[in-house]
């Protein structure tokens, strides 16, 4: 069965073929602008954030300063990663939805169930991204609060890593599922039913996102990889259940 790394590798090669690469340049440009602005903001404010964090550490935990400082840096990196991802996804969602549709036509020889093209991706995709935000932001807030609680914040980076992988899976695998009229709730059930492929795919996409500048050119491949994962792992799952049914060919 198709593994996550193979799906991403094949997807990245696929989106830069002559028939598909025209759908990737606008999202790359939009992400580049957001990336530059966010990097500038973080570098300007990092020192002040670090001082505020260390000031909140109780005096009786001073002996743990050697551990708390790198945990702060890691937590901050994860928060910046989440923020960058959420902003760029809002901007790129219509383009990525259209890209996922074109990739599905290319690899399966048939259109997705919802094939209204640019009209659908331009209008409905933004609404779907807001649904994702409603799911992701409360969980981000809970993890952020955990990160400020002494002792409990020691496990915060691990929780962020696990949630990052899950969030990346939710973000990208939703493009082909939305194109095939899979509801957001049903999409999450399908991801949970294939937990290991879901987390490995999300983990690889998370690593791609952390590659400065290179991620701008690799993320469209994650969209194509999501289509391959959808066709190989999730399409055959029955709605609202974990039972498998033969895929429609």
The predicted structure's pLDDT at residue 4: 93
For 238, other C-beta atoms within 10 Å of its C-beta total 13
136 CB contacts (<8 Å, ≥6 apart)? 82, 86, 167, 170
Asked if residues 248 and 111 have their Cβ atoms less than 8 Å apart, the reply is no
Residue 230, pLDDT > 70, answer yes
For residue 241, tell me if it sits in a domain: no
Q: Which of 18-32, 69-83, 173-187, 230-244 has the lowest mean pLDDT?
A: 69-83
For residue 240, tell me if it sits in a domain: no
Start-to-end CA distance of the chain, whole Å, equals: 18
CA distance 171 to 100: 13
Residue 206, pLDDT > 50, answer yes
For residue 146, tell me if it sits in a domain: yes
For residue 244, tell me if it sits in a domain: no
Higher pLDDT, 193 or 98: 193
248 confidence band (pLDDT: 50, 70, 90): very low
For residue 13, tell me if it sits in a domain: yes
Structurally, the chain folds into a number of domains equal to 1
Higher pLDDT, 122 or 96: 96
Higher pLDDT, 156 or 208: 208
For residue 61, tell me if it sits in a domain: yes
The predicted structure's pLDDT at residue 118: 53
Q: What is the mean pLDDT of residues 123-134?
A: 78
Q: What is the mean pLDDT of residues 155-174?
A: 90
For residue 247, tell me if it sits in a domain: no
224 confidence band (pLDDT: 50, 70, 90): very high
Cα torsion for 100, 106, 107, 111, to the nearest 10°?
70
Give the domain extent around 200.
4-234
Q: What is the mean pLDDT of residues 103-132?
A: 75
CA distance 82 to 226: 19
For residue 118, tell me if it sits in a domain: yes
What pTM was computed for the model? 0.75
The predicted structure's pLDDT at residue 34: 78
């Amino acid at each position: 069965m198709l593994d996550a790394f193979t799906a991403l590798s094949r997807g990245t090669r696929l989106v830069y073929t002559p028939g598909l690469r025209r759908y990737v340049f606008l999202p790359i440009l939009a992400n580049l602008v957001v990336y530059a602005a966010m990097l500038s903001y973080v570098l300007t404010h990092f020192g002040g954030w670090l001082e505020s964090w260390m000031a909140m550490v109780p005096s009786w935990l001073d002996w743990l300063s050697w551990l708390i400082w790198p945990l702060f840096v890691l937590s901050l990196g994860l928060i910046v990663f989440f923020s960058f991802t959420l902003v760029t996804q809002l901007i790129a969602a219509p383009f990525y939805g259209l890209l996922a549709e074109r990739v599905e036509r290319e690899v399966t020889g048939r259109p997705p169930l919802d094939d209204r093209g640019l009209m659908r991706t331009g209008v409905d995709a933004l609404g779907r991204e807001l649904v994702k935000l409603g799911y992701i932001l409360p969980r981000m807030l809970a993890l952020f609060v955990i990160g400020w609680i002494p002792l409990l914040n020691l496990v915060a980076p691990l929780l962020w890593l696990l949630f990052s992988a899950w969030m990346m899976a939710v973000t990208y695998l939703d493009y082909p599922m939305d194109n095939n009229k899979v509801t957001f709730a049903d999409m999450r059930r399908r991801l949970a039913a294939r937990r290991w492929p879901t987390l490995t795919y999300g983990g690889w996409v998370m690593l791609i996102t952390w590659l400065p500048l290179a991620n701008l050119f690799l993320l469209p491949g994650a969209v194509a990889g999501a289509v391959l994962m959808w066709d190989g792992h999730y399409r055959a799952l029955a709605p609202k259940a974990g039972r498998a049914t033969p895929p429609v060919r």
